[in-house]
Amino acid sequence: IYSARKGLKVTLIAERLGGQVKDTMGIENLISVSSTTGPELTGNLINHMNDYDITVKEHLRVSEVIDEEIKTVVLSSGERIDTKTLIVATGAKWRELNVPGEKENIGNGVAYCPHCDGPFFKGKDVAVVGGGNSGIEAALDLAGIVKSVTVLEFADTLRADQVLVDQAQARDNITIIKSAATQEVTAANGKVNGMKYLDRDTNEVKDVAVDGVFVQIGLVPNSAFIKDVIETSQYGEIVIDEKCHTSSKGIYAAGDVSTVPYKQIVIAMGEGSKASLSAFEYLLANSQRLEELYEAQK
């Protein structure tokens, strides 16, 4: 929207419009909006975007970026788009546990999205792995649907905000186990029936009987397609400065895929706006040379 309002010709390429926002039902911290849901916010974003002349390419992935002065973006369809500037806002995805029984049981008890899959576990016992904000939020959401929630946290303290921890501790059907290293998801007859974890205080392997396991151990930035052409951090986040510049001239990054601290909607929105203004500044400063190069490449 910021790019279009500057009169730039904008193409938006998104595998799934709305991104992670689509996976959340309760949003109460988007400044000026007391309460909304992911689908509602996504709809509002699309409506706002439709006020402008923006070319949208949905359900397509960017598989490669060729980083010369005029950049070429290669799509999963094989289409190639030449552009003078590129803003990468590809976000992040759920991190997996990588223990036996996890991959094999996705869809049969192992889940990553409480809002999508929580209702399937109505009246059942579930575990949430991870005691950060996502994990405790998931536990609180699930506690309203399922019979019981057991939260397993690897560290000896919870990393979630105290306000969330207080709410979780006040719920009768949430149990929090700390210093628990998840070792295996167990199943019988194609359905999850429990988890094994190492009690890091006693070194004992313990079992917890559950019908579902929600993995909430963080996000991995979606930067693989571009990591060979720009600098990324040890966590795979695209390194940016305060104006969203990356290590490559003309490429900007914004939101969860970048090193910006705090991964939140309002921050991602602000960063996206900032990246657009930086791209516009770059285009103004280099307009003649970029136009000649762009025309020559056509």
* Residues in contact with ligand FAD by the rule CB under 6 A: 13-17, 19-21, 23-24, 27, 29, 61-62, 89-92, 222, 225, 255-257, 263-266, 268
Closest approach of Cβ 182 to ligand FAD, in Å? 20
The residue among 226 and 290 lying less far from ligand FAD, judged by its C-beta, is 226
Closest approach of Cβ 193 to ligand FAD, in Å? 26
Closest approach of Cβ 222 to ligand FAD, in Å? 4
The residue among 211 and 256 lying less far from ligand FAD, judged by its C-beta, is 256
The residue among 195 and 215 lying less far from ligand FAD, judged by its C-beta, is 215
Closest approach of Cβ 249 to ligand FAD, in Å? 21
Q: How would you write the chain as a 3-class SS string?
A: CHHHHCCCCEEEEECCCCHHHHHCCCECCECCECCECHHHHHHHHHHHHHCCCEEEEECCCEEEEECCCCEEEEECCCCEEEECCEEECCCEEECCCCCCCCHHHECCCEECCHHHHHHHHCCCEEEEECCCHHHHHHHHHHHCCCCEEEEECCCCCCCCCHHHHHHHHHCCCEEEECCEEEEEEEEECCEEEEEEEEECCCCEEEEECCCEEEECCCEEECCCCCCCCCCECCCCCECCCCCCECCCCCEEECHHHECCCCCCHHHHHHHHHHHHHHHHHHHHHCHHHHHHHHHHHC
The residue among 101 and 255 lying less far from ligand FAD, judged by its C-beta, is 255
The residue among 17 and 106 lying less far from ligand FAD, judged by its C-beta, is 17
Closest approach of Cβ 149 to ligand FAD, in Å? 16
Closest approach of Cβ 216 to ligand FAD, in Å? 8
The residue among 72 and 183 lying less far from ligand FAD, judged by its C-beta, is 72
Residue nearest to ligand FAD (CB): 91
49 contacts: CB under 8 Å, gap ≥ 6: 1, 12, 56
